[in-house]
Amino acid sequence: MTDKKKTTIVLFSGDYDKAMAAYIIANGAAAYDHEVTIFHTFWGLNALRKDEKVKLKKGLLEKMFGSMMPRGADKMGLSKMNFGGFGPQMIKGVMKKHQALPLPELISMAQEQDVKLVACTMTMDLLGLQEEELLKNIEYAGVAAYLADAEDGNVNLFI
């Protein structure tokens, strides 16, 4: 039991810009001493993938999904103006110029601030993702755990 304020974000989207928004809010909330959880489901799981290929035994469909989805936060596209991958380079260019943190560093910062990063086990199954492919220090849980966090949440967002 805790008296801390709580922020709970479902990150459904696999877009670089939306994941950035999620992690900026999460890091901000953690800085304001909220207890923060990001529950990664569906395409949002891609933000937690390691960027190298991990050799694993998989079925055909799982292999197809695995190779078509971006490996890690840095390879995700934009929700708007993606321009076949040129858009993310533009955004990363202006971010560098304005000294804004790129997504992989926002994720590291969240981990340092004890933001709880959860991977949705049900959608991991569906997309054929395995724990070995995801970053370290991730928790694995389902919708019940999400709801337990969210029902006492002050800020609940679906991104």
Tokens of 151: 């029902």
Tokens of 119: 């991977």
The residues binding a copy of itself (CB under 8 A) are 5, 7, 10, 12-14, 17-18, 21, 24-25, 28-29, 32, 34, 41-43, 59, 61-62, 64-65, 68-69, 79-81, 90-91, 93-95, 97-98, 100, 122, 125-128, 143-144, 146-147, 150-159
Which tokens in the block code for residue 20?
A: 């950035």
Q: Which two tokens stand for residue 130?
A: 């395995």
List Cα–Cα distances, 35 to 65, 120, 152, in angstroms: 33, 19, 11
Strand partners, 139: 118
Q: Least distance to a copy of itself from the beta carbon of 116, Å?
A: 17
Minimum distance from residue 128 beta carbon to a copy of itself (Å): 7
> Which residues, in sequence order, are CB contacts of 79 under 8 Å at separation 6+?
13, 15, 17, 18
Rank residues 109 and 159 by Cβ distance to a copy of itself and give the closer one: 159
Residue 155 and residue 146: Cα distance in Å, rounded? 13
Judged by beta carbon, residue 53 or residue 147, the one nearer a copy of itself is: 147
Q: Which is nearer to a copy of itself, 69 or 137 (CB)?
A: 69
Of 95 and 109, which has the nearer Cβ to a copy of itself? 95
Q: What's the closest the beta carbon of residue 101 comes to a copy of itself, in angstroms?
A: 11
